Structure 1
């Protein structure tokens, strides 16, 4: 292996440091650079014809392809929308069942929490209806998911509110 390395090093040392062409090429290069570019008439129409054909094919083919693909995408998005809505309702129901064990509505802070939850539910319902009409709107998706998340967070916060216990026989 050392012998191969020595041979390689020797070949590298023996190789010429510069390569020069047999004749000077620069005058021919300069002449071509200075020459005016003239396109032949039969070469100009080809790129334009190709672009025109592609645009025509795109414009003609788009109406035939778009409705089917859009309908499939909308069906899939609507199915996903329904699944997410069902899962959210299940989470809210589970949290509501936990709330029956701790009566957080008695807390002095319970009413604002209840109002916030109601407002979030109303907003989520309106956004859901709009999403059913336009399931490809990403901003609506983000807003709808945010309202659902905030509703669950608010329910959990309400369950952690301090509860005021009234003593028996106390005058209200």
Structure 2
């Protein structure tokens, strides 16, 4: 057994440390790697071209169809429409806010020690919404103002709902009836 290990060890020690091919093969390898890739890519592009052309024609047809089917409003007519929408949204928000305040007065007849900061926040949002509304009436096409105005309205309602969930003070004068 020892003899076999020695023989194996001597054979391994006689092996060369590096193996190198008798000639440079990298040029041939590189040529083979690039050729199939380019052919495959070209075939794929040829297959995708008709699909891309069909998709472009369909998109173009849809865009032209929608452009022809929707009547274009002149700038003053569009502004009137936007102003009417603005007024309707404002009226709807006021109704919703009044209903929530009424519920707040009926249900939460006790005072909360935390209600004054919430009420102050609601009032600040109300004032900001009024200013944004006035600016929007002058420039109803300003998308960012629309987003800001709608956000302030949404936030007013959220704060009012959060105020309804505040803990009430047990030492308030309305407690004992």
Q: Tell me what 1:137 maps to.
A: 142
- TM-align CA RMSD: 2.2
Q: For the residues of structure 1 that align with 2:110 and 2:119, how far apart are their CA atoms? A: 8
Residues 144, 167 of structure 1: CA spacing in aligned structure 2 closer, same or farther, 3 A cutoff?
closer
- Structure 2 unaligned spans of 5+: 1-71
**Which of residues 150, 153, 160 in structure 1 aligns to 2:155?**
150
Q: For the residues of structure 1 that align with 2:153 and 2:110, how far apart are their CA atoms? A: 21
Q: Could you report, residue by residue, the CA deviation over 1:98-124 in whole angstroms, capped at 9, with x for unpaired residues?
A: 011233771111010000000000000
Q: Tell me what 2:48 maps to.
A: none
Preserved CA contact (<8 Å) 1:92 1:152: yes
The count of corresponding residues between Structure 1 and Structure 2 is 103
Question: Are positions 1:106 and 2:148 aligned together?
Answer: no
Local SS of the residue matching 1:106: coil
Q: For the residues of structure 2 that align with 1:104 and 1:88, how far apart are their CA atoms? A: 24
Q: For the residues of structure 2 that align with 1:101 and 1:159, how far apart are their CA atoms? A: 11
Q: TM-score normalized by structure 1? A: 0.56
Q: Could you report, residue by residue, the CA deviation over 1:61-95 in whole angstroms, capped at 9, with x for unpaired residues?
A: xxxxx9x7100100000000000000000000100
Q: TM-score normalized by structure 2? A: 0.55
Q: Tell me what 2:6 maps to.
A: none
- Structure 1 unaligned spans of 5+: 1-65
